[in-house]
Chains A and B, each alone.
Chain A
Amino acid sequence: MVERKKELLQEILKAAGKCDRCGNCLLVCPVTTVNSKETCNPRGMINAALALVQGGVAPEPQILAAVDYCLLCGACIDVCPSKIKVPTVLLKVRQYLADLSDKNASFSLEQQERINSAFDELCERCAAIEEAENSVRKAAYFFSCQARLNGMEAAAATVRLLSKTADVELVNNECCGLPLLARGLVGEYKELLQENIKLYEDYDIIVADCACCADTLKKSAEYLAESKEWQDSAKAFSEKVILLSSYLQLAGYQATNSNVSATYHDPCLANRNLKIKKQPRELLQQAADYIEMQCADSCCGGPCFFPADYPETACALLAKKAENIEKSGAAVVATECYNCLRQLKQAAEQSNGKFKAVHISELL
C-alpha cells in the first residue's frame, strides 16, 4: 500500500509539473466566478497538488479541501497550453488523501432504498413496450442512480426510445462508481466495477443515457489495467458502453418534430470527455424547434456531491445557467445527464414556469 502511494505522487508530479502558471485557466473555471482566491482556481489547485508532492508546504487537510472544490468539468483543459488533465490530477490527489476525508461517499439510507426499488418500477413501466420488428441488435440499458432517484419518467422514455432500434435488456446494474472516484475511494470503486463487468458479460452494446455514467464506464478499464484477471474483460466492457445520443445517431434514428422550442445544456463529461456535442443537437433539430443558448457548455454546478457539499456555489452556477436558458427563449431545456437534469429541474421550478427541464429522450 505504501509503495502504491509513492507511485501516485510521481504520477501527480509528472502531470502537474507541466504547469507554467500562465493563468489561462482562471478565465474559464466556473468555480472561480464564485470564489476568486487562488486556491479556488485550477492553477491554484494544480500547484496545491505540487505542494503535496513536495511536502512540508501546507497541511494535507488544506490541500484536500482545495482540490475537493473542483467540479471536474474540464473547462480548464480546453485553454491550458500544456493540456494538463486537471480533473484527473486532482482525483489522484483525492485518492492519495482519501483517508483524511470525513465526507460521506454514499447515498443516504432512504436514497439507497429508493435506488434498490427503482429497478422493479422501471421493469413495470416498460412491460407494455413492444419490441421493435426485425430488431437488428440487442442493447442493454445502464440504469443510472440519479435516474432511479429522480428521473424515472426519463429512464422509461429512454427504454421506449431504445426499443424502436433494438431488443432492449434491462439489467439491475450497480452504481457506475463516479461518487466513489470523486471521493478518492479507488479500492471500493474497483469492486463495484467488477460487479458491473460481470452483470453485462453477455451483452455487446451497453447504452447509458447519463453522461456521468457513460464517461466513467468508458474510462473504467484503466483502473483494472494491471490486473491479469480483469484487464481483458474490463477493456471489453468499457468499449461496449455508448452514450444515448451517439447510439441513436449510429442506429440511424430519425425523430419526428413535436414543434416544441427547445435548447440543449451540454453535460461537461459528454461535451469535453466524450466529445459528444453534435449528436444531441442534430437529434433535437429533428425533434423540436432548436435554439442554441449562450454558454450551453458551462457547468450547471451539479456533479455528484458538489451541490450537497457546496450549496452556495452550486446555486450561483445554476442561477447563471437559468439566466441563459431564459434568454434563449426556449420553452424546454434538454440534457443527457441525470446530475444535470436534477439541477435543471430545480432551476425550472424556480423559474415560475418560464421553462421546463427534460431529458433528451423525453423529446425524441
Chain B
Amino acid sequence: MITPEIVQEIRQIVGQDYALDSALDLFGYSYDSSFLALFPPSLPELVVRPRTTEEVAQVMKIAYANSIPVTARGAASGRTGGSVPLRGGIVMCLERMTSVIELDEKNMMITVEAGVRTGDIYNLCAQKGLFYPPDPASFKISTIGGNIAEDAGGMRAVKYGVTHNFVMGLEVVLADGRVIKTGGKSIKNVTGYNLTQLFVGSEGTLGIVTKAVLRLLPMPKHRTTLLLMFESLDGACSTIHQMLQAGVVPAAAELMDGKCLVAIARNRPFEYPAAAQACIITEVDGAEQADILKQAEVIEKIAADNGVLEVRTAKSAQEADELWGVRRALSPAVGALAPDRVSEDISVPRNEFPEIVRRISAIAGKYKLNFAVYGHAGDGNLHPSILCDLSDPRQAEVVHKAVDEIFAETLKLGGTLSGEHGIGITKQNYLKNALGEDGVAVLKAIKMALDPKGILNPGKVWAEEGKIHG
C-alpha cells in the first residue's frame, strides 16, 4: 500500500531519521499497554515521527490521497489498544511535538503541543502556583494528546473532573490534511457545534490533535494525604460513600482490595496489617489548613465506624508522593500477579460503588476466578482485574462469560463500560449494548462526515460488520 516513492516523499517532509520501516522498528510501534497479545503483531507499514503541525498536515495529505490508514500514537501507555495499528498503514507518533507554546498566567491557561507529557504540564504549572488537575495513573509518561484522545480520567476526577473538563481549545489536523482550530481562551464561547468536545475522547478516529489549550486552576494551598487500611472491602466502600454524603469531597479517593496489597508488597517494601482486606488512599485539599484538618477528622471518624485497622497521614509532600507512588505502581504490579490479566474500566453512579463491588465478587466466585479490584472509589470508576491463565482452556472460556456478566450488572446499575480508558479495540463488543443501535449509527454518521475514506485509526471504537477484535 505504501510505495517506496511515498516513503521517500514522507522522508523529505519529516527527515530521513524520522520515517522508520525496519522490521524491528515497525514492531516497536505495534503495541501499547493493553492486554492485547504481542504476537502475531499488528504491524504498521511505516512509522512517522513528525516535529510540527505542518509536517503532520503534509503527511496526512499524502495519506488521504493514497487512502493510507493512519493511527496516531503518543507514549503508547494506553489500555485499550487505541494506538495499535489495525490495518497497517502509518503510525503517526507525536512524541517529538513537545513544545509548550504559552503559559498564560493571567488567564490561567496553557497552550501545548500534543506530545508534551501530562506530568510535565502539571510541574510547569505548579511552579507558577497553577494546577492542571487530571492525573491518569500514567500521567508522568502519557502525552496530553493521548489523554485528550481517550478523555483520560485519573484519581482527581472525583473533585475536579476529567480531561474534557479542562480542554478549552484544540488544533486538529483533519483526515485530508486541512488544519482547524477549535474553541479558544474565552470562558464563554459558543461558535457553531462544540467541536472541541467532539474531538476529546474520539480516540484518533476523527482527526489528529496537534495542540491543546487547557484551563488551569489556582493550586490548592493545602493538601493532605491519608492511607486507611480496612478489615473489609465493604467497610472501605461504605466509608467513601458516607464521606461524600457528609459533604467531604476528596481531591482523590482510591480503593484497593487485599489482592492489590499483595501485589504492591512484592515489588517494594510495604507493610500493612495482616487482617487488611482493603485500603483507601485519599487526598483532601483546600484553601485553609483548618479546612483540611477538619475534612481529615471527618474521614477518620467515619472510617472508625467502618472497621478501619490503621490510618497513616502523610507528614510531608514527599511522604504524600510516596503514598501515591504506591497507587500509581498498582496496575502493572497487579498485572504481574498472573500470566494474563483481563482488566476492565467500569463506571457506575457513585452511590452504587459498594453494590457493584459485591456483584463482581459474586461473579468471580461463581466462575472460580481470581480477581483484584481497585479504582477511583470517589467517582464510581473501578478496574476489576481478572487474574488468569488464558492458556488454560477452562479459564479462557469462562473469563469472557465473567466479563459479559460484569458489564451486564454495570449497565443494570445505570453505569457505563468505559469510564476513562476508551473503547479502542478491547471493548467494541459491548458498544451496542451501551449506546443502542441508533446511538452507534450516530457515531458512524459523524465519522463519515469527517473521515469519509475511513483512514483515521480504522477498526476502533465500533466493530466493523462481521469483524470483532480482541
Q: Which residues of A contact B (CB under 8 A)?
A: 18, 20-24, 26-27, 36-39, 44, 47-48, 50-51, 54, 57-59, 62-63, 66, 81-83
Contacts and interface: CB of A to CB of B under 8 A. Distances in A.
Interface in B21-58: 22-25, 27-29, 31-33, 38-39, 41, 47, 49
Nearest to B18: A37
A47 B95 CA distance: 19
Given A36-B95, A37-B25, A66-B24, A23 B333 contact: no
A20 B332 contact: yes
A51 B27 contact: yes
B28 A57 contact: no
A59 B39 contact: no
A90 to B, nearest CB: 14
Contact of B39 (A38, A54, A82): A54
A63 B141 CA distance: 25
B333 A81 contact: yes
Contacts of A44: 28
Contacts of B335: 20, 82
A21 B141 contact: no
13 contacts: A20-B331, A20-B332, A21-B32, A22-B33, A22-B138, A24-B141, A36-B96, A38-B29, A44-B28, A47-B28, A47-B31, A54-B39, A58-B24
- Chain B: interface size category: 20 to 34
A36 B138 CA distance: 19
Contact of A21 (B31, B39, B95): B31
Contacts of A22: 33, 77, 138, 141, 331-332
List 5 tightest A-B contacts by C-beta distance, closest first: A38-B28, A81-B332, A58-B24, A58-B23, A20-B332
Interface of B: 20, 22-25, 27-29, 31-33, 38-39, 41, 47, 49, 75-77, 95-96, 138, 140-142, 267, 329-333, 335-336
B333 A82 contact: yes
Secondary structure dominating the interface of B: loop
Nearest to B98: A36
Q: Which of A36, A38, A48 has the most CB of B within 10 A?
A: A38
A26 B75 contact: yes
A66 B329 CA distance: 27
A26 B140 CA distance: 10
B319 to A, nearest CB: 19
Contacts, number: 87
Q: Which of A21, A24, A83 has the most CB of B within 10 A?
A: A21
A29 to B, nearest CB: 12
Nearest to A54: B39
A20 B77 CA distance: 9
B376 to A, nearest CB: 18
A27 B23 CA distance: 25
A101 B329 CA distance: 37
Given A24-B140, A57-B41, A48 B24 contact: yes
A23 B95 CA distance: 13
Nearest to A38: B28
Given A54-B39, A57-B23, 4 more contacts: A18-B336, A21-B77, A37-B25, A66-B24
Nearest to A36: B95
Contacts of B28: 37-39, 44, 47-48
A44 B27 CA distance: 9
Contacts of A21: 31-33, 76-77
A271 to B, nearest CB: 18
Contact of A82 (B31, B75, B336): B336
A95 to B, nearest CB: 19
A81 B141 contact: no
A41 to B, nearest CB: 9
Given A37-B28, A59-B23, A83 B332 contact: no
Contacts of B77: 21-23
A27 B140 contact: yes
Nearest to B32: A21
Nearest to B49: A37
A92 to B, nearest CB: 18
Nearest to A50: B38
Given A21-B31, A21-B33, A58-B24, A81 B336 contact: yes
Nearest to B29: A38
A24 B138 CA distance: 8
Contact of B141 (A23, A57, A82): A23
